[in-house]
Amino acid sequence: MTNPPLSKFKFCPACGSEHFDINNGASKKCADCGFTYYFNPRAATVALIRNEKGELLVARRAKDPAKGTLDLPGGFVDSYETGEEAVAREVSEETGLIADSVDYLFSLPNIYPYSGMDIHTLDLFFECQIRDLSGMHAMDDVAALQWIPLDRIRPEEFGLQSIRKGVTMYVEMQKKSSY
C-alpha cells in the first residue's frame, strides 16, 4: 500500500492523546485511554444494468479518481443501509432510473484514492433490472451514460481496478450462461 491511511491519524479520536500508535496493520491504539481504531474497508456498490438488446449501461466519470474513464453506476453504502438499498439509491442518483429489482452477484476488493489516501473498499456487484429506461440521464458524479454491447466492452477503458475485473467477470458469466 503506497499511502497507509493509518499514518494520517496522529491523535486519538477518543481522548485526543498524541500517543496514538500503530497496533497492527489494520489498527492504531491509544497508549493513554486504550481506544483502538480499526481501519476496515468501506462497502461500496456497483450496478450492472442491461437493456432489452443485452447492452450494458456504462458511465463516464465526471470526477477524480479516474475522471474521464469508464465506470458503472454505484457508490458507497450509507450507515443503516443494505447493499441492495444502496445500489438502488446510487442508480437513481446517477442515472435517474428506478431499479425494480437487484440481485447480488459477487464482491471484489478495491483501493479508492480519495483526499490523498488509499481507501480500501469492498465493492458489491449487483445486477439491476430496470423496466422503464425512458428517464435516463447522467447526474451526480457521472458525466455521460451510454449503452455498450457486451462483446464491445473493453475492460482497460474502466478507470478503477475492481470495475475492470468485475466487468471482465460479468462478461464471462454472460458468455457461459448463453451456451
Please give the pLDDT value at position 2. Answer: 43
CATH: 3.90.79.10, 3.10.580.10, 3.20.20.70, 2.40.50.100. Which one for 42-177?
A: 3.90.79.10
Share of the chain above pLDDT 90, in %: 81
Sequence ranges of the domains in the chain? 5-38, 42-177
Which 3 state secondary structure label does DSSP give 131? coil
pLDDT tens digits for range 108-157: 999 988 877 788 899 999 999 999 999 999 999 999 999 999 999 999 99
In this structure, what are the phi and psi dihedrals at residue 122, rounded to the nearest 5 degrees? -115, 110
- 55's grid cell: 447492452
Query: 0.85 exceeded by the pTM?
Result: yes
